[in-house]
Amino acid sequence: MQRDPPTGKITIVDIARAAGVSIKTVSRVINQEEGVGDETRARVLEIVTTMGYRPNVSARSLSSRRSYLIGVIFMRVGAYHYVGEVQVGAMRACRRAGYHLVVEQVLPPEAVGGVQGFAEGLRDARFDGVVLTPPTCDDPEVLAAVETAGLPYVRIAPHREFERSPYVFMDDRKAAREQTLRLWNMGHRRIAFIDGPADHGSATRRRQGYIEALRDRGVEPRPEWIAKGEFLSLSGFDATERLLALPERPTAIFAANDEMAVGALAAAAKHGLSVPRDLSVVGFDDTPTAEAAWPRLTTVHQPTAEMAEAAVEMLIDGFGDERLRARVAARQLDYSLVQRDSAAPPLA
Amino acid sequence: MQRDPPTGKITIVDIARAAGVSIKTVSRVINQEEGVGDETRARVLEIVTTMGYRPNVSARSLSSRRSYLIGVIFMRVGAYHYVGEVQVGAMRACRRAGYHLVVEQVLPPEAVGGVQGFAEGLRDARFDGVVLTPPTCDDPEVLAAVETAGLPYVRIAPHREFERSPYVFMDDRKAAREQTLRLWNMGHRRIAFIDGPADHGSATRRRQGYIEALRDRGVEPRPEWIAKGEFLSLSGFDATERLLALPERPTAIFAANDEMAVGALAAAAKHGLSVPRDLSVVGFDDTPTAEAAWPRLTTVHQPTAEMAEAAVEMLIDGFGDERLRARVAARQLDYSLVQRDSAAPPLA
DNA sequence: CTGAAAGCGCTTACAG
DNA sequence: CTGAAAGCGCTTACAG
């Protein structure tokens, strides 16, 4: 056998010639289609391996109108641990199926381009499908752009219009309810909540769970117990300062995410309060920060990577199906409570 | 003018027909090539806009052998704030030049696939070029895989073999030296250092800067003042516990990154030490964590997004040039010291 | 079970 | 300044 140039210029024609078959047969083998004799298939496969043949994806895309590219859309790429987890999970699913992951960002409306630029980007990015993350997955303009581009999409943890597309989710509300009840059952009666941004559905659902738990116990949560936050650590710090300034201090603080909980820890330190002795603090998400905080943060584990992985799977599985968007599909993943060191019964 | 189907099936042929020119002329206009009359160019451009034409990237790739895809390679995608920043910067440069960003992960050697799987992935990912981040950018196997694939690449903050490829960097050593001297000038004489992982060149360079600063002042740093860390917050916590157990406690701790500095803060809190009164703690990187910590962390700003942006720019600029890799190119970006609240003169 | 033909939508190389 | 032809490397649709 002649040595081929090392630059990987081996094409389907070379394989066909070496195997003594037509390129169509090679194509069938490559794509694991039926209708090839076992012997032929084995022979072609061996030649493919020895010659190190990899199909040219552009050619494949051009004729099949598939790109083997999945886009994952974020609002902010720089800020959250969340982004990394989503990418890890999505890449796992992509890799299994021979797809690659392209990261896209919807710039905020005030930025040059904004949703408009995003929509244009979608058109020449030739995705086979996209995964939408919160809060982008609830943005009407973004949804419109994706649908106009005719792209199949799956949403992660959407907050509205559940029939509009397949999605992956976990029960934030129920988890937050359990988290709150855990504090209640420890003996806490003045439990405060640090809320997230209004455009994040998860923040809303978690707040609902918190309120629901208190009402279940016959307590109407006071408005001043719910402090505004922005999912960022600094906002948790500020919110906690406000909560600690209340005439009747809460004995426990439930932050809608771990970042804010860490901010709450810092505020407690500033005020000379020992956690969990003087104040219990719990978070939500179970990011590495939660494990690294001191004291280690009691929180709720959100299976972020797994949710992204499931989303990509649903997307890819649906490619064969014309009616992907019609088939209202949803996959629910489980959370779990993570007991660590930042919550304890109140002193008095 | 007839209304075209909304699915974006407009091709170069449609434009050519509508403009009364050949597809070659349209191609010239699209690609901003010379040799088109001003009037013709304007007319084509207008038709392109009104018809909403976007070139099919697969077709373009197939004939031009360009993919307009840039890969960015990480070791871990889930763990660091760093990853997000790199992506933000890289996407900025990609967007400007009409490229898209694909995220790839080199799995650790023990994982299924490992570098082998990575190399295969490279081959059918059809990147025009890749950006290598630390510590992957110093991994001989990864470098070999990229070079074997014949891919142009730019490294961010490499630690070795600087002639091997273009790269972007900042002077970690000098920054760490300044950071250490800042503590010295406050009056600190027992300054400890929390080191990063051995495979991260930046950790080594920062340690060198620390040692150099002390030697400049006539002090030979004691071995026990340099504590091993892993760039993760928990390791900073543990390292600090060891440092605080020393017979002669350090009065200041310089952590090789912010995450570990935050861990140091937590350890100080655990031991009832008030920062910066009883102990000064400084970090490196200027991540959001540094701003959110309490007290807010004095650190060094590393322009991570800008470095990634510059790397992608160098890559794209070099595509025209056959001798990209021969042209030893390097771009240095500036750090800056960020003074916040976690460092102060020692008590005694 | 297998293949010959046409075509996907561009760019390259060449010609004028 | 402009264009006709060939070709990139596959898959689709059809035939046998």
Q: Among A254, A249, A256, which Cα is nearest to A343's?
A: A254
Q: Is residue B341 part of a domain?
A: no
The answer to whether residues B217 and B320 belong to one domain is: no
The answer to whether residues A189 and A163 belong to one domain is: no
What pLDDT, on the 0 to 100 scale, is given for residue B319? 76
Do A305 and A92 touch, CB atoms closer than 8 A?
yes
pLDDT, mean of residues B164-187: 97
**Amino acid at the residue A3:** R
**Which tokens is A214 given?**
């208190």
Question: In the structure, what pLDDT confidence band is assigned to residue B272 with cuts at 50, 70 and 90?
Answer: confident
The answer to whether residues A162 and A309 belong to one domain is: yes
Question: In the structure, what pLDDT confidence band is assigned to residue A6 with cuts at 50, 70 and 90?
Answer: very low
Q: What is the mean pLDDT of chain B?
A: 88
**Which tokens is B106 given?**
């080199």
Do A241 and A263 touch, CB atoms closer than 8 A?
no
Question: In the structure, what pLDDT confidence band is assigned to residue B109 with cuts at 50, 70 and 90?
Answer: low
What burial letters (b/e) apply to A139-158, b meaning 16+ CB within 10 Å?
Answer: beebbebbeebebbbbbbbb
Q: In what order do the strands lie in the sheet with B252-255?
A: B226-227, B191-194, B252-255, B280-282
Q: Is residue B347 part of a domain?
A: no
Do A29 and A36 touch, CB atoms closer than 8 A?
yes
Burial label for B190, CB within 10 Å (0-12, 13-18, 19+), is middle
Do B72 and B131 touch, CB atoms closer than 8 A?
yes
CB within 8 A of A45, min separation 6: which ones? A29
**Amino acid at the residue A91:** M
Tell me how crowded residue B250 is: count the other CB atoms within 10 A of its CB: 24
What pLDDT, on the 0 to 100 scale, is given for residue A108? 66
What pLDDT, on the 0 to 100 scale, is given for residue B202? 95
- Residue A107 touches partner B, C-beta closer than 8 Å: no
The CATH number that applies at residue A39 is 1.10.260.40
The answer to whether residues B152 and B198 belong to one domain is: no
The answer to whether residues A285 and A179 belong to one domain is: yes
Q: Is residue A345 part of a domain?
A: no
Interatomic CA–C1' length for residue B293 and nucleotide C9, angstroms: 54
Q: Is residue B339 part of a domain?
A: no
A113-153: pLDDT as tens digits:
667 777 777 776 778 999 999 999 999 999 998 988 888 99
Q: How far is CA B346 from the centre of its chain?
A: 35
The answer to whether residues A268 and A256 belong to one domain is: yes
Q: Is residue A348 part of a domain?
A: no
What pLDDT, on the 0 to 100 scale, is given for residue A95? 84
Select from A77, A117, A149 the Cβ nearest to the Cβ of B87: A77
Q: Is residue B312 part of a domain?
A: yes
How is B7-30 classified by DSSP, letter by letter?
T----HHHHHHHHTS-HHHHHHHH
The answer to whether residues A76 and A101 belong to one domain is: yes
Sign of CA dihedral A41, A42, A43, A49: positive
The answer to whether residues A165 and A259 belong to one domain is: no
The CATH number that applies at residue B271 is 3.40.50.2300
Residues of chain B (14-53) having a beta carbon less than 7 angstroms from strand C: 23-24, 27, 30-31, 53
Does residue B59 lie within 7 Å of nucleic acid chain C, judged by its CB? yes
> Measuring from the CA of residue B24 to each C1', which nucleotide is nearest?
D3
How does DSSP classify residue A169?
Answer: E
Do A343 and A183 touch, CB atoms closer than 8 A?
yes
The answer to whether residues A21 and A35 belong to one domain is: yes
- Residue A19 touches partner B, C-beta closer than 8 Å: no
How close is the nearest chain B Cα to the Cα of A181, in Å?
Answer: 28
Cβ within 8 Å of B, A 41-80: 54-59, 61-62, 67, 69, 77-80
E runs forming strands in chain B: 69-74, 100-105, 129-132, 153-156, 167-169, 191-194, 226-227, 252-255, 280-282, 299-301, 330-332, 336-338
Q: Does residue A28 register a pLDDT over 80?
A: yes
Do B236 and B259 touch, CB atoms closer than 8 A?
yes
pLDDT, mean of residues B228-250: 94
Q: Is residue A6 part of a domain?
A: no
Does residue A17 lie within 7 Å of nucleic acid chain C, judged by its CB? no
Q: Is residue A79 part of a domain?
A: yes
The answer to whether residues A50 and A92 belong to one domain is: no
Question: In the structure, what pLDDT confidence band is assigned to residue A77 with cuts at 50, 70 and 90?
Answer: low
Domain that residue A79 falls in: 67-170+305-333
How does DSSP classify residue B298?
Answer: B
The answer to whether residues B113 and B91 belong to one domain is: yes
Do B22 and B15 touch, CB atoms closer than 8 A?
no
What pLDDT, on the 0 to 100 scale, is given for residue B216? 97
Q: Does residue B247 register a pLDDT over 80?
A: yes
- Based on the structure, what is the number of domains in chain A? 3
Q: Does residue B7 register a pLDDT over 60?
A: no
What are residue A156's DSSP bridge partners? A168
What pLDDT, on the 0 to 100 scale, is given for residue A186? 97
The answer to whether residues A178 and A324 belong to one domain is: no
**Amino acid at the residue A186:** M
How close is the nearest chain A Cα to the Cα of B95, in Å?
Answer: 8
CB-CB under 8 Å, A267 with B234: no
A65, A100, A237, A341: which to substitute to probe chain B, counting the most B Cβ within 10 Å?
A: A100
What pLDDT, on the 0 to 100 scale, is given for residue A279? 97
pLDDT, mean of residues A28-37: 86
CB-CB under 8 Å, A77 with B88: yes
**Residue written as token pair 């660091």:** B80
